[in-house]
A and B are shown apart, each in its own frame.
Chain A
């Protein structure tokens, strides 16, 4: 499987943010996006997820020569955590496990249990998500990565409000995903200890006065 962007041009509010970007990542590779605020990292991730229609160019996820839409193949973790504060941590994940679907024959509760353990949330499983701290909420959002199997992970500044130990958990999860033949595109300001990572520095700085 590969993720290909061809001559991608993205616009925000009529202003071109990314101009003619092309890249290709293969299974097992991560792409790290860096760049100053406003350089188009989030915009690029939203385009890769299929929310934003490119002004020109295209995004393609190719699997054995067959192209398909990226939206159903990706996990998207953006700035917002996608957590319902009235449900417990476990209920949030059970919903996403059922909604996003998983491999045939695997049962959702087991996947949720494993995901909670993986992100050190098992002690918080029965607490309403509204009572979690910002870092714990972020970990809960990241635990979604583990409840459903998706080949492409799109992470927008996933380390925000995580402590050092949690960043370690995240990096371990990403490396395991890559080792299993997955792909990841990660926008970050913090250097992450990733194996097999390419990186793109998005150039354009904020509009100067």
Chain B
């Protein structure tokens, strides 16, 4: 457990020290969302109707930007070899690193969404629901993304390959993220899509590390 916390703490500290990954992701998120009204014109009704979807899709793209570095920096400087000699199984190494990615990127992106919602004329009542679904859904983004990051560890231009591998796997997260916003804002306030979104997140937290650790073992040969 102390090894797990040490690794989590180190990755969070590195995320703060380096700063680049989070800054790039937040900047990218902001720019994509800012460009959209410019492209679509100032039809406020249209914007507020598509706002949740736009915010979700832009969040997925922004999170992808920083996923490539989850294992690559440890692989390049040799840390990954040493991490493998620890008492922590590789699955938990992946869990710690993906968790650090969620805390350092997923949560800030989700918290930034309401600010960007202002640009898209998102109705005020939708803000808490939007942030809640994003906080529930972003663990899936980090943990599924970790599989892609592990698979493309040694690939040239791995960043582009990650997008091709991982974006299709984000489809269920996106569908149920959007469905839970619609359901919670709808007349009944139904929460079943939110429960499915939670299930997707929890399943990816368990299954993602298994797949990513298997991929890392192959890559380290």
Contacts and interface: CB of A to CB of B under 8 A. Distances in A.
A189 interface: no
B81 A84 contact: no
B2 A101 contact: yes
B14 A87 contact: yes
Contacts of B84: 49-51, 71
B82 A144 contact: yes
Contacts of A91: 13
Contact of B3 (A50, A71, A101, A150): A101
Contacts of B83: 99
Contact of B78 (A53, A79, A100): A79
A72 B81 contact: no
A150 B82 CA distance: 13
B94 to A, nearest CB: 15
A72 B84 CA distance: 8
Interface stretch (B43-51, B64-72, B85-93, B202-210): B85-93
B79 A82 contact: yes
Contacts of B3: 98-101
Contacts of B154: none
A75 B221 contact: no
Contact of B18 (A80, A86, A101): A86
A82 B13 contact: no
Q: Size class of A's contact patch?
A: 20 to 34
Contacts, number: 78
Given A51-B221, A52-B221, A99-B86, A80 B6 contact: no
Interface in A46-92: 46, 49-53, 71-72, 74-76, 78-87, 91
Contacts of B220: 51
A95 B3 CA distance: 9
**Listed residue (B9, B14, B81, B220) with the most chain A CB atoms within 10 angstroms of its CB:** B81
A51 B81 CA distance: 8
B85 A84 contact: no
Interface residues of B, number: 25
B86 A72 contact: yes
Contacts of A101: 2-3, 86-87
B214 to A, nearest CB: 13
Interface string B10-49: 1001100110000000000000000000000000000000
Interface in A99-150: 99-101, 144, 150
A131 to B, nearest CB: 14
A100 B85 contact: yes
B78 to A, nearest CB: 3
B85 A82 contact: no
Contacts of B88: 99
A85 B86 CA distance: 21
A144 to B, nearest CB: 7
18 contacts: A49-B81, A51-B81, A51-B84, A53-B221, A76-B81, A78-B81, A80-B77, A81-B77, A82-B79, A84-B14, A84-B79, A86-B17, A86-B18, A95-B10, A99-B10, A99-B86, A100-B3, A150-B85
Given A80-B76, A86-B17, 17 more contacts: A49-B84, A51-B81, A71-B84, A74-B85, A76-B82, A82-B82, A84-B10, A86-B14, A86-B18, A87-B13, A87-B14, A99-B10, A99-B83, A99-B88, A100-B86, A101-B87, A144-B82
